[in-house]
Every structure is written in structure tokens, then in C-alpha cells.
Copies of this chain bind each other. A is one copy, B any other.
Amino acid sequence: MEKVFTRPKTLSDVQMAYCAGCTHGIAHRLVAEVIDELGVRENTVGVCPVGCSVFLYEYFECDTIEAAHGRAPAVATGVKRCLPDRVVFTYQGDGDLAAIGTAEIVHAASRGENISVMFINNAIYGMTGGQMAPTTMLGQESTTTPGGRDHARAGYPMRVCELLSPLEGVAYAARVSLTSPANVAKAKRAIKTAFQNQLDGKGLSIVEMLSTCPTQWGVSPLDAFRHVDEVMTAYYPLGVYKDVNG
């Protein structure tokens, strides 16, 4: 028999420290596969966030930089401007990208930095123990929204693709999820587009992946997958929000 599925080369052969059922792992694999398929591993610089995926640098067999919380797009800008022929991607959580890093992502997008942004929206701060993220759903419990998020007190969940798409510098913005084989396949296509756009010099591409956090949501992995499909997708519709390729 022939091996028809194996770990991508860009993904180190070590156990990832994510919780059971956390889709950070799927997202990692997809990014690594795309890097493999495009043959750019030796040419790639990854910029890691602060968040559960801070350890991405231990899992990717390419050069990586650990950025300060929220600043990955600025760091990536520094890298890409100096080395325009390298493939530069950021990988950021919703706290990282949509809270503290708002200015950095908005301006990288507005400038049209030629980078690929992997955005993991799990509607929570995973690493720090389950506090509200900008994307936390209304009514969702978190350790800083006891009784559930109430917009009068804690504001509204932020839709990042919708926010960034109008900016001139954005080449591509898509929201995907990782909850079924079909969704994973779509996610991979989106990620590949985001990297291909960079190779083609099109500007900033962002792929928002609705992701699970069974631990901080306090549910089983399977229920977490269901929550993404049933609750999150309703507020965060999947789809391509912008594509300069038409």
C-alpha cells in the first residue's frame, strides 16, 4: 500500500502542545502543506503571535520570529520590506489580531503589505485562560464576561473580514472553518490563494479561520466543532469577502 496521507515536511515531527480537539493543529497542518506544495519552505519567514500558537516556531521547519502581542503585521512588514522576495506570513489569534493588534493589521492592510495573514478566530483568549476576545459571541460566557457577553457592557463581536475588505490594500479576504472535510478543503484553498497572491505581488491576503477552543469554551472537542458550525458561522458567515483575482 502507498502512503496517501502524511505529515507535511514543513510541520516538525513533534507533538503540538494544543489541547485535545483544538483546531490550531489543523490550521498549522494546512499552512505547512501549502508551504510544501508551493516549494517555498526555504524561502519563508513565519511571524508568530502571542497566544496559544506562540509555539508555532517550534512546529514549523522554516525560519520564524516571535512577535510581541498584536504586532506580527508590523514585524512582518519589517521583514518583507527588507526582503521582498521572501514569503512572509503571520499567524495570529483573535486577541492578537483583533484586539491589541488592531492598528497594526488595519495599517498593514491599508498599505497593502504583500504578506499572508493567517487569522485564527476562536472567539476567546485561549492562552490566558478564557477571557473575552473582540470576537466573543454575544451571550457567550468567558472569564471576563460572567453571565455572557452583553453588548451594552462589552460591545459587539467584531467581524474582521468585513472590516478589512474595504481597505484598498487588501487583495484577498476569506472566512473559512475547519469543522468538516469539505470545510478543511476550502480552508486549504483559501490559504493557498493567500500565499499565491503574495508570490504574485498582489498585496495583503487574510484567511480568517473559525476555530475551536474546547478548553476555554468548557465543552468537548466534538461539541466545540458543533458550536462553530451552529453558532459562530451564523454571525461570522463563511465565504470570500474580497478577491482581486475576481
Contacts and interface: CB of A to CB of B under 8 A. Distances in A.
A163 B111 contact: no
Given A102-B102, A103-B100, A156 B162 contact: no
15 contacts: A99-B107, A100-B103, A102-B102, A103-B103, A106-B106, A107-B155, A110-B155, A110-B158, A111-B154, A112-B156, A151-B169, A156-B167, A156-B169, A158-B167, A163-B166
A106 B151 contact: no
Copies of this chain in its oligomeric complex: 2
Interface in A52-101: 99-101
For chain A, the bracket of interface size reads 20 to 34
A107 B102 contact: yes
Interface string A175-209: 00000000000000000000000000000000000
A13 interface: no
B156 A110 contact: yes
A1 B169 CA distance: 57
A214 interface: no
A103 to B, nearest CB: 4
Contacts of A101: 103
Contacts of A156: 110-112, 167-169
A110 B162 CA distance: 13
Contact of A151 (B99, B155, B162, B168): B168
A130 interface: no
A158 B166 CA distance: 10
